[in-house]
Structure 1
Amino acid sequence: MTSPRILVVDDEADLRELLDITLVKMGLDVDCAETLGQARALFAASEYALVLTDMRLPDGLGLELVREVAASGKGTPIAVVTAYGSADNAVVALKAGAFDYVSKPVVLDDLRVMVRSALRLTSPGSAPPAASAATPSRLIGDSAAMQALRAQIARLARSMAPIAITGESGSGKELAAREIHAQSSRAARPFIAVNCGAIPEALMEAEFFGYRKGAFTGAADERDGFFQAANGGTLMLDEVADLPLAMQVKLLRAIQERRVRKIGATAEQPVDVRIISATHQDLAHCVETGKFRQDLFYRLNVIELALPPLRERLADLGVLTEAILARLAGGGQKAVLGAQVLETLCAYSFPGNVRELENVLERALAFANDGVVEVADLSLKSARVGEATAVPAPSPEFAAAALAAPAPVAAAPTLGPDGLPDSLPDYLIQVERDIIVRALAQTQFNRTQAAQLLGISFRQLRYQMQKLDIQQPEQ
C-alpha cells in the first residue's frame, strides 16, 4: 500500500526542507514546488492527499492555487501557510476554499494535527457513519430548501473553516451544527455545545479555558474548560452574540492562536477545535452598534450557513410531524393526526419554528383521545401564514381600555397635506404603541405570545410597555 502523497509549495528553501522532513517522518511521501507554475504541473500529474502552499510565491499568490484546487473536482484538501498575525489572509483563504491554515513560524505540532485531519478526510473508508446514505439526516424534510441545506452541509463538513449558523429561534441551528460535525473527519471526537447566554460573566473564563487547582477560592481540583473538552472535535458557541466584550477579546486570541491558558497556569496548551457559532441575532448589526467586536465577527463568520424558517418550508410539515410523534411515542403506539389537522398546521405561521411545532404536538397529545390528535387539541391562536405581519385589530373594548392609559406624548401627531408627520419621533412612538396594543389584544394580553408574534424577547416587550405606559386593562 502506497503512502499518502503531500504537495508542499513554498519559495523558502529552509521552510520547504523543514516541512519535507517533518512529513516524511510521519510516513508520508512529499513533492516540493518553489513556484505556482511548478505546483500546477505537479498537481495536474499526480493525486495528492493534501496540498500545503505559502500565500506569497514568486510568480503569483497561493490564493490562486487554493481556488484552482478547490475547483478541480478532485476533492483534494488544500491548506495555506500565512505570516504571523496575518489573520485576514487566513480568512480570505478559508473563504476561497482552503481546508485549514498554519501560521509562520510553523509550529510542528500544529502542522501534524492539521495533516492528520486532512488524511482522515481523504483516506479510503474514512467517511464517518453519519455521512452514510443508510443513516438518516438529523435535518428532516424533502423541500427544496432542505435539500439545498443538506448539500451545503456536506460541502462544509470537508473544511475546517469556522462556520456561523444564522436562523430564527427554534429553526434547528444546533442540529445543523451536529450534522456538520457528524459528516466531518472529526466525527469520532467530541462535539461540545455551549450556550454563551447562560454562563455568568464572572465564570466565563474558567468555563471556556479551565483552571488549575488553587487558582482561586473554591478551585479544589484542576478542571478542563470547553476548549479542552472539545479538543480534536467541534466546539459550538450558541447565542455567541451574548458574549460580553471582555470575553470576546480572550475568545478571539484562543481561536487565532489555537492555544488556551488555564486560570492559574503559566503556560498555554495547544487545542485543536473547529468553531461553529450560532445566533438568532444579526451579528453585523451587533458590530455596528458596538456590541460585538468586528475582528471576532470576521474570524467566526468565515462561512455563513442560513437556516430557513419553518414557514418557508411548510411542505416538510408532514414528515416533521410524523418524526416528532414517533419520538414522543418513545417506542410505543404512535399517535395519528385527525381530519384537517395537517391543513390547520400548514395555515399556521410558526413564529417559534420547529421547536414550537414540537411543543404544539406535545401539548396536543395531552388532550388527544384514543391517540388521535384533532384540530381542537392543537390550541393554535396565532396568525395565518402571509398574515403574520398583519396583526388583527383589537376588540373595541380592549383597545379602548388599553389606549386609555396616558401615552408618553402629549397628543397624537398629525399628517400634513404632503402625507408627512409634523413630528416624526412622536409619530413613530404612536405607531409602535398601536402595534403593541394590537398584538396584546390578539393574545388576550399574554405577553409571552405577544412578544413571539412581534419577533422580540419578553424582556424587550416588557421594557417597551413600561416606556409607552401600556397597562393591562382591568377585567
Structure 2
Amino acid sequence: MTTHTALIVDDEPDIRDLLEITLTRMGINTLTAPDISSAKKLLEEHRPQLCLTDMNLPDGNGIDLVHWIQQHTPCTPVAVITAYGNMDTAIESLKAGAFDFVSKPVELPRLRELVNSALKLSEPKPELEIAPDEPGLLLGKSAEIKRLRNQVRKLARSQAPVFISGESGSGKELVARMIHLQGPRRDGPFIAVNCGAIPSELMESEFFGHKKGSFTGAVDNKDGLFRTADGGTLFLDEVADLPIAMQVKLLRAIQEKAVRPVGDTKEVPVDIRVLSATHKNLPDLVQEGTFRQDLFYRINVIELAVPPLRERPDDIALLANHILERIAREYECEPATLTPDAIERLKDYEFPGNVRELENILERAFTLCDNDQIGASDLHLGNAPTPPGLGGAATREITRNAEQADVPDGEIDLEGYLETIEKQAIEKALEATRWNKTAAAKRLGISFRALRYRLKKLGME
C-alpha cells in the first residue's frame, strides 16, 4: 500500500498540531513548516503528494506559495486555508492554481474530503477513450484542439469552478465530462442539467430536493440535483437562463457547500464540483442586470473557451469519420465514406451549429447516399433540409396520405402529425411486400439503409 505524504504550512503551532493529528489518523505521513522559505525547502526535498498552507505567513502569503508550487513542483496539489467568509481570497487562490480551499475554523469532515480528493490525483488514471456514442469533440490534430485538451487536463487537477464558453453545438457538455473523468472525482457521479429546461416553479425542488408533503404533489422525499451529484460533478448548462431569484439561492449553495431542501429547516452538506456553461455572453448579461455579478464571479473562477468547428477545418475529416462509424453501428449498416470533394465542401462550410450540425448533416447524407459513398451533393449544404431517407416515391405516398387525412382543428403537433403520416406510408409499403424490407424500400423509392434508418427513428422495428 502506497503511503502518502502531506506538507502542512502554518505559523500557528496549534493549527499545525490539529492538522497533523487529523492527517496522521488518515494514514498520511506529515511534514510541517512555519513559513514559506522552510516550506519551499521541504517541497524540493520530499515532493509530497499534498500541501496545506495558511494564507497569512510571516514571510509572505499562501498565494505566493501557490505560485511557487505551480512553477517548481506542479504535480503537488496545494489547498489554501482562508479566513471564514473571505471568498475573495479563496477565489484568488483558485485562480492562482490552488487545488481547493478550506475556511477557518477548519471543519474536519470537509478537510478529510479535500485531502482524499487531492490524493487521488497521484493515483494512476485509466486511459480515456471517447465512447462510440460520443460526437468526438476532443478528437483532432489542430492547434486549437490540442490546446483545449491540454487545458482540460490541467483544469481536471483543480477543484476550481470552471465556466465553459462556446457556441451552441460546440460540445461544451463533452468538455465538462472530460474534466470530470480526468480529475479526482472521476469515480463519482457526473450530473448534467439544462437550466433553461426546468420550469421556474419547480427549479428549487429540482436543484435542492424537497421533503414529503412540503407542497402539493410532494408525495415522497426528493434528493435534488445537488445531492445526487454529491462526491462528483454538477454541470449547469445554459446557466444564463436561471431566473434572478434562483441565482441568489444557487450562489448560497455553492458558497456554503450545503443545500436546504424545500420544506426542511436544516441544511445538508454537499461535496460537489460545479462546472457551468452557456452560449450567451454572460458579461453582457451582468451589465444588463439579468445575471448577478456575484454569481458570475463565483462560477467564472476559470474560463475555458471551446473553439467553434469552423476554426479547426483540419479536424473535420477525422470527426466526420468517427461520426459515420457511430451512425453505422447504431443502424447496423456498413459504414459510409466521404469522397474528397465532400470533405472539401465540409471544410468550406461555416457550421453555425458546430459539431451538432455536422452530426445532423452526416446522418441525413448517410441515408441518402448510394454505394456507401457520400459525395458533396449528398450533403445538401446551403439547401433546405431534406428529411433523411425519403425518396420521390415515398414523398408522393406521404402527400397522398396527407391529402386523405383529416387535419385536426386548433393547435397541432406538426412534427408528430407528419411522423404519423410517414408511418402509415411505410406500413402500407411493408404490408404490400409482405414485410420484405428490400422490396418495401424499392416501392418507397428509397435505399434499404434509408428504410432501416426510418424504422429505427420512428420506433417501428
Give the TM-score category using the shorter length: 0.7 to 0.9
Taking the aligned partners of 1:359 and 1:178, their CA distance within structure 2 comes to 22
Contact residue 49 and residue 122 of structure 2 kept, 8 A: yes
Aligned twin of 2:76: 76
- Mapped partners of 2:354, 2:156: distance in 1: 25
Match of 1:144 in 2: 143
Deviation, structure 1 residue 203: 0.7
Match of 1:273 in 2: 272
1:354 aligns with 2:394: no
CA contact (8 A) 1:233 1:272 kept: yes
Q: 1:7 to 1:366 in 2, by over 3 A?
A: same
Alignment partner of 1:259 is 2:267: no
Q: How does 1:141-180 map to 2 (within 5 A)?
A: 141-180=140-179
What is the CA–CA distance in structure 2 between the aligned matches of 1:116 and 1:151, rounded to whole Å?
Answer: 24
Q: Give the distance between the partners of 2:298 and 2:129, measured in 1 at CA.
A: 27
SS in structure 1 opposite 2:51? strand
Alignment partner of 1:130 out of 128, 135, 140? 128
AA in 1 matched with 2:197: A
Q: Partners of 2:46 and 2:371 in 1: how far apart?
A: 65
RMSD of aligned residue pairs (Cα, Å) = 1.7
> What CA distance in whole angstroms lies between the structure 2 residues aligned with 1:16 and 1:158?
25
Structure 2 distance, partners of 1:72, 1:52, is: 16
**Counterparts of 1:224 and 1:161, CA distance in 2:** 24
5+ unaligned residues in a row in structure 2: which ranges? Answer: 384-461
Query: 1:345: how far off?
Result: 1.2
Alpha carbons 1:128, 1:182 under 8 Å: kept: no
- Structure 1 residue 24: Cα displacement: 1.2
* Preserved CA contact (<8 Å) 1:138 1:179: no
Distance in 2, matches of 1:172 and 1:223, equals 30
SS of the residue corresponding to residue 71 of structure 1 reads: helix
Q: Partners in 2 of 1:129 and 1:337 — Cα distance?
A: 30
Contact 2:137 2:355 in 1 (8 A): no
Alignment of 1:167-206 (within 5 A): 167-206=166-205
- In the alignment, what sits opposite 1:8? 8
Distance across 2 between alignment mates of 1:102 and 1:327: 44
Gaps of 5+ in 1: 383-475
Q: Is the 8 A contact 1:163 1:300 kept in 2?
A: yes
**CA 1:131–1:378 in 2, change beyond 3 Å: closer, same or farther?**
closer
After TM superposition, the structure 1 stretch with the greater mean CA deviation from structure 2, 269-278 or 137-146, is 137-146
SS in structure 2 opposite 1:120? helix
Are the aligned partners of 2:66 and 2:97 in contact in 1 as well (CA < 8 Å)? Answer: yes
Letter in 2 for 1:255: I
Structure 1 window deviating more from structure 2 (31-40 vs 154-163): it is 31-40
- The match for 2:370 is 369
Deviations 1:422-457 (A, max 9, x none): xxxxxxxxxxxxxxxxxxxxxxxxxxxxxxxxxxxx
| Alignment partner, residue 66 of structure 1 | 66
Query: What does residue 96 of structure 1 align with?
Result: 96
- Tell me which moved more, 254-263 or 35-44: 35-44
Determine the C-alpha separation between the residues in 1 that align with 2:129 and 2:27. 28
Letter in 1 for 2:361: V
Residues in 1 aligned to 2:14 and 2:267: alpha-carbon distance in whole angstroms: 27
User: Is residue 84–residue 103 contact of structure 1 (8 Å, CA) maintained in 2?
Assistant: yes
The superposition leaves residues 36-82 of structure 1 with CA deviations (integer Å, 9 ceiling, x where unpaired) of 22222222221211100111112211110011111114500000011
In 1, Cα distance between equivalents of 2:378 and 2:63: 58
Q: How many aligned residue pairs are there?
A: 377
CA-CA distance at 1:339 after TM superposition: 5.1
Code of the aligned partner of 1:3: T
- What is the CA-CA distance between 1:217 and the residue it aligns to? 1.2
Superposition TM-score, scaled by structure 2 size: 0.79
Residue 266 of structure 1 aligns to a residue in which SS?
coil
Counterparts of 1:62-461 in structure 2 under 5 Å? 62-123=62-123, 125=124, 127-130=125-128, 139-330=138-329, 332-338=333-339, 340-381=341-382
Return the letter of the residue paired with 1:191.
Answer: F
Q: Deviations over 1:280-302 (max 9, x none)?
A: 11111111111111111111111
In 2, Cα distance between equivalents of 1:339 and 1:300 = 44
Does the aligned pair in 2 maintain the 1:364–1:373 contact within 8 Å?
yes
1:199-223 CA-partner distances (Å, limit 9, x unpaired): 1111111001111111111111111
Report how far residue 376 of structure 1 moved.
Answer: 2.1
Distance, in Å, in 2 between the alignment partners of 1:362 and 1:260 is 43
Report the Cα distance in structure 2 between the residues aligned to 1:52 and 1:358, rounded to whole angstroms.
46
Report the Cα offset of residue 346 of structure 1. Answer: 1.4
Task: Go from structure 1 to structure 2 and tell me whether the alpha carbon gap of 1:138 and 1:320 turns closer, same or farther (over 3 Å shift).
Answer: closer
Name the structure 2 match of 1:427. none
Q: Which residue identity lines up with residue 260 of structure 2 in the other structure?
A: R
Q: TM-score, normalised by structure 1?
A: 0.77
CA distance in 2, matches of 1:357, 1:174: 16
Q: Structure 1: which amino acid aligns with 2:338?
A: L
Counterpart residue number, 1:464: none
C-alpha distance in structure 2 between counterparts of 1:358 and 1:138, whole Å = 11
Q: Partner amino acid for 2:287?
A: E
> 2:430 is matched with which residue?
none
Aligned-partner residue type, residue 41 of structure 1: K
Contact 2:6 2:49 in 1 (8 A): yes
CA contact (8 A) 1:128 1:185 kept: no
Percent of aligned positions with the same letter in both sequences?
A: 55
